[in-house]
Structures are given as C-alpha cells and as structure tokens.
Amino acid sequence: MTFYWLLFCFVVLWSGLIAVQELDVLGRAEVLRFGTRFVLVSVLSLFAGFFSGSGSVDYNNYVDMLNVAPPATAWEALTLKDPFFLLMGFSLRSHDGHLSLLVFLMAFLSLGIKFNIFSRVFGGAGYADIFSLAVIFLVGRFFLLHEFTQLRASLGIALISLSIVYAMENRPALVLATAALAAMTHLSTLALLPALLLVYRVDLRIKIYVAALVLVAASAVVALFEVERFSRLAPYLTGEYPVTINTLFSFYFVFKAAILTGLLLQWKSLTTALRQALLISAYGMFLTWLFLQNDVLSLRLGELTAVFDCLCFAYFFKHGLKLEPVYGYVAGLGIAVLFYFSSIHIVNPLSLGF
C-alpha cells in the first residue's frame, strides 16, 4: 500500500502550502492559487488513471459495461442507462478496452468541480478559508472510494453538489442543467433533489407545492412499475448488491453526528453558506437512517452529501473547536489519516511493472 500513502503524503504537503496561503503569509495571488490547485487535481487524476486498472475493484465492471457496441442513433443514446457516463466511456475507451483516459478525465472533472465548490464565496462569505482542510478530508475519506473506484458516483456527486451551489446562488438554468447531467451520470443523485429545494431561495409555499408534486410523482412511479423490469435498479432496491453491513454505530456515522451536533450548537455564529452545508449534510444522515434496512441504498445515498460533509468537518476543526489554526489542522489531519487507512481496505495493492 506504499503508493497510496505516498499519494496521501503529497496531498498533505500540498495542503500545508495552501493553508499558508489561507493565512496570508504568501498572499492570495490568483495565479498561484490556480496553479497549485491545478497541480493537485492533475496529480490525483493521473494517479487514478494510471493505477485504476490494477487497484480499483470496479475497473473490470466498467470494462464489461463498455464492451458493447455504442448507440447508433440519438434516441438509443438518450435511452442508455447513465447516458452521460456511457457516452463518455464509448468515446474515450481505447481499442484494446483499457479505460485509463476515461478514468483520468472523470477524476479530473469530479475533483475540479469539488475544488471549485470548496473555493466558492457567497456575498463575502463561503468556503474558501477552509479549502485546504476540506481537501484533506475529501481525499482521506472519498478519493479512493469515488474517483478511484466508483467513477459514475464520483462525477454524479460532483455535479449534483454544484447544482446545489447554483441553487444557493439562485441561478435556475444552471441548477437544471447540472442536475440533469448528474442524473444522467448516476441515477442515485436524484435523491438530493429535496436538498436543492431546501436551499433554493423561493417562497416556502412554492417549496411545499413542488415537494408535494415530486412525492406524488415518485409514488406513482413506484406504484405503476415493477422493480423486476428494471434489472439495473433491482439489486439496489432488493439489497442483493454485495456491500458491507451498514449501521448507525459505524465510525463515520458517529463522527459525522458529533460534528454536526457541535456545529448546530454554534448555529448563530455560522455563515449562511455553512448553515446550508450543515443542513445538506444532515439530510445525508437522514437518508442513511431512512434506508438502514437496505445496506446498498443506505451507504450509497448517505455518500451523496460527501462534498458538504467535508466542508462541515473542515469548518469544525478550523473554527468550531476554537483552537489555534495549526492545532485544529493537525487534529483534522489525524482524523483524515484514520479515514484514509480505512478506505485503503476497499482497493487492491499496487505494484509497478514495466
């Protein structure tokens, strides 16, 4: 597992440089900020693209999924399952079936979007001052799980998270566009539509009407269609998909509950952007609890709020604990190391062969 830890050490060193910039020791030059972030996204994406064939446990599943003839007509393309992902896959797969370029590009897009969210500023406040620590948590908890393994979920989560940010900014056209792309990348992202409604700045009555309409539509779909007719959805809904057993006593769930409780107690001091992140992260916990009897859905839907989880964690350790910045950073890094140690167990060992 040496290569995985070398990558994490690189991220930690990079994060330290960004943390110094956040303290204004080196200033906030736009070129320097963009350059350092571009380097990290590129390194992580190259790592995913280069090593995914041997390290990712899902890699062969994607090879098999794309080992079919591409759609011949526009209608066939639109009726594909996860059409945005599959069309990218058909375009980027190599002649011998390897998907290194596809993995690289999807990781680059996914991480780039998530980093963009971490950099966001809303009306003078936002997430930019917790950027470096948010990245540490993202890599520690989710990089090997998402960008390295669950490719569709990684990009889908990035897109639906960006859609939520656009909802915070009241930009309806971009909300719809990114939400549609997210759904066409991974269907599970539709579970975050209530979060979109939650943060969108419209009258409460309109939110209630829209929520009721969505609930009626979802109920009609469940009532009129048989799960067995959708071979792709059946394993998720029946719990047949092989995953570890999920409980409310897992380290991640208990840790997240403690962090969100701590932030809730500081509600009055939180910015609007952090309050919204807290609500969305709490919604992810609700999804975990709601589908607890189905390990597949409980785990998958609970992960959809990954971006906002990391923002809450970063804020808590940098500001919520009321510690000196360096102590908060070290404490957060210690938790991220535990997350990364756990996530390494879901991938295969790596070795270089020439």
Query: Does the pTM exceed 0.85?
Result: yes
Q: What is the reported pLDDT for 207? A: 66
Q: Compare 351 and 230 and report the one with higher pLDDT.
A: 351
Distinct helix (H) and strand (E) counts, the chain? 17, 2
The span from the CA of 326 to the CA of 56, in Å, is: 34
Interval 305-347: pLDDT, tens: 999 999 999 999 999 998 888 899 999 999 999 999 999 999 9
Whether 238 has a pLDDT exceeding 80, the answer reads: no
Q: What is the reported pLDDT for 62? A: 92
Q: What is the reported pLDDT for 98? A: 87
Q: Do the Cβ atoms of 141 and 343 come closer than 8 Å?
A: yes
Residue 107's nearest CA partner among 182, 43, 53, 64 is 43
The span from the CA of 177 to the CA of 159, in Å, is: 9
Of these ranges, 95-104, 136-145, 222-231, 299-308, the one predicted with the greatest mean pLDDT is 136-145
Q: Compare 32 and 136 and report the one with higher pLDDT.
A: 136
Q: Compare 25 and 335 and report the one with higher pLDDT.
A: 335
Q: Where are the domains of the chain?
A: 2-346
The span from the CA of 24 to the CA of 302, in Å, is: 36
Residue 4's nearest CA partner among 53, 48, 57 is 48
Interval 273-302: pLDDT, tens: 999 999 999 999 998 988 888 777 888 889
What confidence tier does 243 reach under pLDDT thresholds 50, 70, 90?
A: low
Q: What is the reported pLDDT for 354? A: 38
Please enumerate in sequence order all residues whose Cβ is within 8 A of that of 280, keeping only pairs 6 or more positions apart, or say none.
Answer: 164, 192, 195, 198, 199, 305, 308
Q: Do the Cβ atoms of 298 and 288 come closer than 8 Å?
A: yes
Whether 237 has a pLDDT exceeding 80, the answer reads: no
What confidence tier does 56 reach under pLDDT thresholds 50, 70, 90?
A: very high
- Measured CA to CA in angstroms, residue 74 lies from 77, 81, 97, 151, 282 at distances of 5, 14, 23, 24, 39
Q: What is the reported pLDDT for 165? A: 93
Q: Compare 197 and 171 and report the one with higher pLDDT.
A: 171
Q: Residue 226 half-sphere exposure, CB side, CA atoms within 13 Å? A: 2
Q: What is the reported pLDDT for 292? A: 82
Average pLDDT, integer, range 104-121: 94
What confidence tier does 211 reach under pLDDT thresholds 50, 70, 90?
A: low
